[in-house]
Structure formats: C-alpha cells, structure tokens
C-alpha cells in the first residue's frame, strides 16, 4: 500500500464523524425534532447537514430566527443526540477506527504554550464535552466549539482559530475531516486536508478535493515529534 509522510506543526481534528461515531444519536435527535417541526425531511437533512453548526441547521431547516430560541433549541437538540445514541440498543457515542492509536500518541500530557493537536468542532461545548467523555477521548488543550466562532464551517474561521490557539500558522497544519463543508473550511484556512469516508459518499468527498481521501483514521499514523506531528497517510 503506497504511503506519504509529511510533518506539520499541529493536527486539527473535526469531532463527529472523524473522531467519534454519533450518527445514531443525530438521527434520533432529528426524528424527535420532527414532532415539533413536522415539515422537515429527516432523510434530506441527514444528507447535507453534517459538519454544520446546530444553530445554523436549525435556522436553515426549522426556520428558527430568534436568537434565544435558537440557543435553547440547539441545547435541546444536542442533549437529544446523547440521549438517543443509547436508545433501543444503539451503541452510544463511540470512537471511530484508528482514533485510539492516534489519541494515545498525541494526548498524553499537556503541551502549552504550543500544543500539537486540537479539536475544532461545529458542536456546542456542552455537547462536544459530553460526546468526548462518552467516547473516552480527553479534551485537548485547544478545543474550538461553535460558541467560539462567529461563522461556522465551511468558513475558515474554526480552523484559523485552532491554528492560532496552537500558536502556529494554518499553512503548517493538517485538518482531518469527514464532511465536505469541513474540508472546504480547512482548505480555505490554508491547511493541508485529509478527508474521511465515514459519513459521506466517495463522490461527495471527491468533489471538494481534499489533499488525501481515505476510509478513516486507521489509514493514518501520527507521531509526536519535538516540534509537531509526523503524519503518514496510506492510500490504496
């Protein structure tokens, strides 16, 4: 299997669909919201909403505009993800393949003032913290959530902020993403991008042209170095 190895100052990870599998919970949350918003099409939403902030999805699909209502409904939605992920025998929120090895390499110890990895998620801090706890993934020193940015993915702000908080230039970072909008965000920030096929089709991911496209994190090896992260990507 051919491989490519390169070095970056920091690795920036999306969360849902990249580090954790929360698909069952997200489906359950939208099914719950259909009770209040009967005109939404859950299947259509699931095909295009991944990687976008909950407040933006609720604004776009449910027509909620009031800021206070948006915040309240976003909290209700993300609480429903955690609750629904374990209903009816569902597995809950769990690590995706390859994540255990990557976290074991990157997470031990604290690395301030220059961390070598970050999570930059479209989720709220409350939900993201609960999801990471459920999957037994430690919260990194740099943890960018929806509340930290004025514009979510595909805008570059989440990954620009992640790089900034790591104390490095975005062009010296690699972004790990499962969603087209996330890849767009990373590319717009100037980062190298690695796309995963965990939640979207091959055609959808190829269309946004990540630098590498692999099944999941099990196709990637990361190794901490004195001044960053060595990344090896294995492609078919």
Number of residues assigned to the chain? 236
CA 10 to chain centre: 16
Beta strands in 61-148 (DSSP E): 94-95, 117-120, 142-144
Query: Which tokens is 108 given?
Result: 């031990």
Q: Which long-range contacts (CB under 8 A, 24 or more apart) does 87-92 make?
A: 87/28, 90/24, 90/25, 90/28, 91/21, 91/24, 92/25, 92/134
Among 9, 14, 21, 178, the active-site one is 14
CA 177 to chain centre: 6
**In whole angstroms, what is the distance from residue 35 CA to residue 39 CA?**
9
For residue 175, the surrounding DSSP H or E stretch is: strand 173-177
Among 16, 56, 141, 178, the active-site one is 16
Sign of the C-alpha dihedral computed for residues 146, 52, 211 and 189 taken in this order: negative
**In whole angstroms, what is the distance from residue 39 CA to residue 37 CA?**
6
Determine whether 16 is an active site residue: yes
**22 Cβ partners below 8 Å, 6+ apart?**
16, 81, 85, 93, 131
Determine whether 14 is an active site residue: yes
Query: Which tokens is 9 given?
Result: 């100052």
Which are the catalytic amino acids?
14, 16
């Amino acid at each position: 299997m051919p491989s490519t190895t390169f070095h970056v100052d920091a690795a920036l990870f999306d969360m849902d669909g990249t580090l954790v599998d929360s698909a069952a919970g997200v489906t359950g949350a939208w099914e719950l919201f259909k009770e209040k918003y009967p005109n939404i099409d859950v299947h259509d939403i699931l095909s295009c909403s991944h990687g976008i902030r909950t407040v933006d999805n609720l604004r776009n699909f449910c027509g909620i505009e009031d800021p206070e209502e948006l915040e309240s409904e976003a909290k209700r939605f993300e609480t429903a993800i955690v609750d629904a992920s374990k209903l009816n025998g569902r597995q809950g929120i769990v690590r995706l393949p390859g994540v255990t090895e990557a976290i074991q390499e990157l997470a031990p110890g604290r690395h301030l003032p220059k961390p070598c990895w970050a999570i930059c998620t479209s989720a709220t801090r409350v939900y993201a913290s609960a999801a990471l706890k459920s999957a037994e993934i430690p919260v990194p020193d740099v943890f960018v959530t929806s509340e930290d940015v004025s514009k979510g993915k595909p805008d570059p702000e989440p990954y620009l902020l992640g790089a900034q908080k790591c104390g490095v230039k975005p062009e010296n970072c690699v972004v790990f993403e499962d969603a087209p909008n996330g890849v767009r965000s990373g590319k717009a920030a100037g980062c190298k991008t690695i796309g995963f096929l965990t939640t979207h089709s091959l055609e959808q991911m190829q269309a946004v042209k990540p630098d590498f496209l692999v099944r999941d994190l099990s196709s990637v090896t990361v190794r901490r170095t004195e001044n960053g992260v060595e990344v090896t990507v294995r492609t078919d």
